[in-house]
Amino acid sequence: MTHVRNVWYVAAWEQDLPEAQPFAITILDEPIVVYRSEGRLVALEDRCVHRMAPLSLGRCEGARLRCMYHGLLFDPDGKVVEIPGQELIPAQARVRSYPVVEKHSWIWVWMGDPARADEALIPPAVGSDDTDWFLGCGQLDYAASAELIHDNLCDFSHLSFVHANSFGATEDWAHTRPRVTPLARGVRFERWVPAQKGMRAREAAEPVDAWSAYDYLVPGVLLMKSASYPGGTAERLGFAPPPPDLEGASGVTFTSQAVTAMTAKTARYFFSWGPHRDHGDEALRDMLMGIAGQAFGEDKAMIEAQQRVIDATPNPRVMPTSADKGVTLYQRLVERLAREEAGEGRAAA
Ligand code: FES
Ligand SMILES: [Fe+2]
């Protein structure tokens, strides 16, 4: 699998990390323990140097973590500071420590060179601390590779078929193409789907023009704003993006989503969704999250089934269509960034 390492991966929702309760997750095949204790947020290799017991079964002692097999005590930087019954602590007695940051309701872990970790590279997701939005949150584990989920999220033509029931998406989603723009660290997708009755507006009598715009950023973070406008707006604007102050917007929502590759064939999918405070309340948030729960279950069923077919195929080959422009752009971006990192690694060695 090709992955970018010098990038922030979502490891958990902040509320899933209570004080002094170590949390385990595997990212890019590396077992990691995350904990917060006495104001410190720490991410370490989840494998004791002594006999490889998971430190996530350990006990927080102040900002330190004790392995609860034979009691080695680790500093937040991964260094062993105590071996019960032994004076000498070998110099190599340390586990890897990872840069870790809490932001936008997520715990982010930097999987690459710690010296390159830059908080400015954390994608501008919207967290529950942003009072402009009423957001619900959820997550799903996939028995499929993260790449298949990236492909899914970079091509919404599947909405017409996978999500006809949940999102109420019409076939227009498959028959129209978004405007796709490469970004330095992702791909931007923008589109009008005119005369819609789906989504929030399913109860509306008059069809509306649905606008949606999202960025898909490495290593798999989707940030999307959606809104509806009176029918005819898209044509009047010549299908250009609606100016931020354009009158008549309804059903304005935001979703942040993150795909984290755990192993080659497993991934965790984190998502939030909800209305802008001027366009809804907690009740609408809960209704949208109910729809999202159904819709993301539809994606999971299709993608896991797709993975099983790929695994049973000797030389799997795909045949891209014109709907795959964004998929291909994102794949090429990841390959290029991974290649650059490999080149830098060789130069440094
Ligand atoms: S395995 Fe951790 S102290 Fe023995
Ligand atoms: Fe989907």
Tokens of 55: 């430190």
pLDDT for 201: 45
What atom in ligand 1 is closest to the CA of residue 71? 3
Residue whose CB lies within 8 A of the most ligand 1 atoms, among 46, 47, 70, for a mutation test: 70
Tokens of 178: 């978004």
Q: How many domains does the chain have?
A: 2
158 shares a domain with 57? no
SS3 assignment, position 50: coil
Burial zone of 184 (CB within 10 Å; 0-12 exposed, 13-18 middle, 19+ buried): exposed
57 shares a domain with 106? yes
- Whether the full predicted model's pTM is greater than 0.75, yes or no, is yes
213 shares a domain with 66? no
The beta strands (E) that lie in 48-119 are given as: 59-61, 64-66, 73-74, 80-82, 97-98, 100-103, 106-110
Residue whose CB lies within 8 A of the most ligand 1 atoms, among 33, 47, 48, 82, for a mutation test: 48
pLDDT for 219: 98
Residue burial 288-327, b: 16+ Cβ < 10 Å; e: rest: bbebbeebbebbbebbeeebeeeeeeeeeeeeeeebbbbb
Residue 338 — φ and ψ, nearest 5°? -65, -40
171 shares a domain with 64? no
Is residue 126 a part of any domain in this protein?
A: no
Across 34-54, average pLDDT: 97
141 shares a domain with 111? no
Structural domain that includes position 257:
136-333
In the chain, count of helices (H) and strands (E)? 6, 18
Residues 6 or more apart from 72 whose CB is under 8 A from it?
48, 49, 50, 66, 80, 82, 83, 84, 93
- Which residue's CA is the nearest one to ligand 1's atom 4? 70
300 shares a domain with 264? yes
Band (pLDDT 50/70/90 cuts) for residue 1 is: confident
Name the residue with tokens 């130069």.
347
Name the residue with tokens 């004791």.
48
Q: Residues lining ligand 1, judged by CB closer than 6 Å?
A: 48, 50-51, 53, 67, 69-72
CATH number of the domain where residue 313 is located: 3.90.380.10
Name the residue with tokens 């993150």.
258
Band (pLDDT 50/70/90 cuts) for residue 170 is: confident
348 vs 291, residue with greater confidence = 291
169 shares a domain with 23? no
pLDDT tens-place string over residues 300-343? 999 999 999 999 999 999 999 999 999 999 999 999 999 999 98
Residue whose CB lies within 8 A of the most ligand 1 atoms, among 44, 59, 61, 72, for a mutation test: 72
Distance 137 CA to ligand 1 centre (A): 36
